[in-house]
Amino acid sequence: MPKNRLAKLKTAARIVRELYRDHDTIGKRLEALQRVAWELVPGYRLTWPDSDWCKDSDFNQYLESTGQLKGMNTHNRMMLAQLLRLSDNVPGDTVECGVYKGDSSWLICAANRSSPLSKQHHMFDSFEGISQPGSEDGQHWTRGDLSFGLNGVQERLKEFEQTAYYPGWIPDRFQDIQDLTFSFVHIDVDLHEPTKDSIEFFYERLNDGGILLCDDYGSAFCPGATKACDQFLSSKPESMISLPASGGFMIKGQQTGKNFWQTLA
């Protein structure tokens, strides 16, 4: 094992040992976790574990079905579920660009099924993984990452009726739905080019009060996606609202104030 890795592990073990020795309380265990996390992954922050949604059995059952109950996607899944509620009464269909195994589309379809309005869910994906990253996309992704076949997604979502699939490279199939309007647009393709194509196409088709959520906004793994959103919205009244577990959204027709940190000097 490399020396600095061993040193980090030893420091982490020492922190846990010291904090446990005298004070085995929840507060001390959290403090130990926080310090160990910061030691192993500098800058990493934990959240409080007392939120009601952590104990929501329906939500936990959904997470279990995705294999993510103990994973890193729980916060953005919760945000997706909550933002869908905001657009429940906005007319228009829903769309996802970047479907992978269908786990986020499952939440969108479940929300549509309970909506008072009739909404169809449209899904765009190569079903062959991500396209070739470009110069804006950093080093994290390789063409073909996150490949999952169409059949597996159709099986995952078979309980829902109002679904439509458009296999192909974005934006090749967008013309198939050019006359529709939308209440909720989920963009999750990780890269600059398909994010730009998606926001350009769907912004004008998003009804007032509708939500555009980009799962990759503000993620260090997806600098091109963040740039695509900010550049497109720079000439629009709305801008992206950042979410704490990365991701960002805008509400169509809702003018957004400046990021006030930039005004403090």
Ligand X SMILES: C[S@@+](CC[C@H](N)C(=O)[O-])C[C@H]1O[C@@H](n2cnc3c(N)ncnc32)[C@H](O)[C@@H]1O
Looking up tokens 């990365």, which residue turns up?
246
Per-position DSSP letters for 196-224, written without gaps between them: HHHHHHHHTTEEEEEEEEETTTT-TT-HH
Taking CB under 6 A as the rule, does residue 99 contact ligand X?
A: yes
- Tell me the per-residue interface mask from 60 to 79 with ligand X, x by CB under 6 A, - otherwise: --------------------
Taking CB under 6 A as the rule, does residue 225 contact ligand X?
A: no
Spatial separation of the C-alpha atoms in residues 222 and 187, rounded to whole Å: 12
In the complex, minimum distance from the CB of residue 152 to ligand X, in angstroms, rounded to a whole number = 11
61: which strand partners?
A: none
Segment interacting with ligand X (CB under 6 A) among 25-33, 34-42, 96-104, 257-265: 96-104
DSSP state of 72: S
Choosing from 129, 138, 209, 223, the residue that interacts with ligand X (CB under 6 A) is 129
Q: Strand, helix or coil at 65?
A: helix
- CB neighbour class for 215 (10 Å; exposed up to 12, middle 13-18, buried from 19): buried
- Measured from the Cβ of residue 40, the count of other Cβ atoms closer than 10 Å reads 13
Choosing from 104, 112, 183, 219, the residue that interacts with ligand X (CB under 6 A) is 104
Residue 129 or 209: the one with the smaller Cβ distance to ligand X is 129
Taking CB under 6 A as the rule, does residue 125 contact ligand X?
A: yes
> Long-range contact list for 115-119, CB < 8 A, 24+ apart?
115/88, 115/89, 116/88, 116/89, 117/88, 117/89, 117/90, 117/91, 117/183, 118/162, 119/92, 119/93, 119/94, 119/162, 119/183
Segment interacting with ligand X (CB under 6 A) among 28-36, 41-49, 87-95, 101-109: 101-109
Residue 32 or 95: the one with the smaller Cβ distance to ligand X is 95
Taking CB under 6 A as the rule, does residue 137 contact ligand X?
A: no
Segment interacting with ligand X (CB under 6 A) among 82-90, 125-133, 158-166, 232-240: 125-133
Q: State the number of binding residues for ligand X (CB under 6 A).
A: 20
Taking CB under 6 A as the rule, does residue 146 contact ligand X?
A: yes
Q: How far is CA 238 from the centre of its chain?
A: 19
Residue 92 or 247: the one with the smaller Cβ distance to ligand X is 247
In the complex, minimum distance from the CB of residue 196 to ligand X, in angstroms, rounded to a whole number = 11
Please give the residues from 176 up to 215 whose contact with ligand X meets the rule CB under 6 A. 188-191, 194
Taking CB under 6 A as the rule, does residue 126 contact ligand X?
A: yes
Helix H or strand E encompassing 124: strand 121-125
In the sheet where 93-97 sits, what is the strand order?
163-167, 121-125, 93-97, 182-187, 206-214, 248-251, 241-242
In the complex, minimum distance from the CB of residue 265 to ligand X, in angstroms, rounded to a whole number = 37
Taking CB under 6 A as the rule, does residue 246 contact ligand X?
A: no
What is the contact surface with ligand X in residues (CB under 6 A)?
Answer: 98-101, 103-104, 125-126, 129-131, 146, 148, 169-170, 188-191, 194
